[in-house]
Amino acid sequence: MADDIGGPERIPGLSWRTPGRNRRGPYQNPFRRRPDPEAAEAPGDAPEPDPAPDPVPGFDLPPDPDPAAPPNAIPRAYGIGRALAGSADALDDTGRDQASVTASALGLPPHLFTEPVQEAIEGLMGDMERLRAQVASAREAETKARALSRQDGLLPVLNPRVTVEALDEALEAGRLLGTPVIAALFYLENYDRLRRSAGLARANDALTRLALSLAADAIGPEGSVAGTLGGASVLIARQADPDEARAFENWAQARRLALTGQRQILGDIPVALEVSLGVATARPDEDARALCLRLDLIDRRGAAPGA
């Protein structure tokens, strides 16, 4: 076999590293002596010296950075390794430095993990942290606003919690007295369009005026309920016998026609309202939430009252 390869006897084997070297160097000679398990070395025999590595053109890895070089000469991959894993000098289970681990996690060969690449990644990481902080702040503000709206007692007509509780009380009273409850759900269809074009404050102003106007017309008979359900909907409900229920339905239709197309001045902008309507009589086993969901479905489908 030695004659075949023109040198000392070598058989194919795995590539190996020079003893005492932990850093990656050029590829070594893939031929080395396979130890003979039957032949025992005599005591005192000196081990065979390691052969010099054979250069393999085109397969040499780039050299490691020189520790004695100026700081600017050391790749900044160590910086991103420190940012992501806490220490540039930390080793993983395989003995690789953390910068190499980070480069592998990002799918980049270590020699391509250059200073501009690290600066871009660090910039993206900073943007992600700022976005996370902004989202957390917005969610916290929204939670506080919702909590305040549900605790506001100055304008209960604009408080969804108060509206649902009052409707539950009216339904319970109707069941005890044997008088059904009829309800109308008015929905401001162009609320979202007003919010986009005129701003949130003006859209809320239009909804507030609608709620207060309907409440002023509806409040009076005992057992009446008027208030918002959140979003852009206003609920009006009252206990009514069949004759009063028909009169209430006619009143609701007339109010919708009067409000639709009506222009209100919000700030300095005239705004035409678009109002839809759903009317239904509560069923004996319905609670407030079930009735509101059914009213919303009737409103969306444009079905006739009582559908």
Question: What are the pLDDT digits (tens) for 12-61?
Answer: 444 444 444 444 444 444 444 445 555 555 555 555 655 555 444 443 44
Asked if 260 and 242 count as a contact pair (C-beta separation under 8 A), the reply is no
Going by pLDDT thresholds of 50, 70 and 90, the confidence category of residue 89 is: very low
DSSP per-residue string spanning 99-132: HHHHHHHTT--GGG--HHHHHHHHHHHHHHHHHH
Measuring CA to CA, which residue among 238, 228, 217, 231 is closest to residue 163? 228
Say if residue 82's pLDDT is above 50.
no
Average pLDDT over residues 139-145: 76
Give the C-alpha separation, 171 to 225, whole Å.
Answer: 10
The matching CATH number, chosen from 3.20.20.210, 3.30.70.270, 2.70.70.10, 3.40.1410.10, for 155-301 is 3.30.70.270
Asked if 19 and 50 count as a contact pair (C-beta separation under 8 A), the reply is yes
Task: Give the chain's length.
Answer: 307
pLDDT, the chain, mean: 69
Average pLDDT over residues 251-275: 79
pLDDT of residue 183: 92
For the chain, the domains span 49-151, 155-301
pTM confidence score: 0.49
CB-based burial label for 262 (10 Å; 0-12, 13-18, 19+): middle
pLDDT of residue 32: 44
Encoded amino acid at 58, one letter:
G
Q: Which residue has the higher pLDDT, 254 or 83?
A: 254
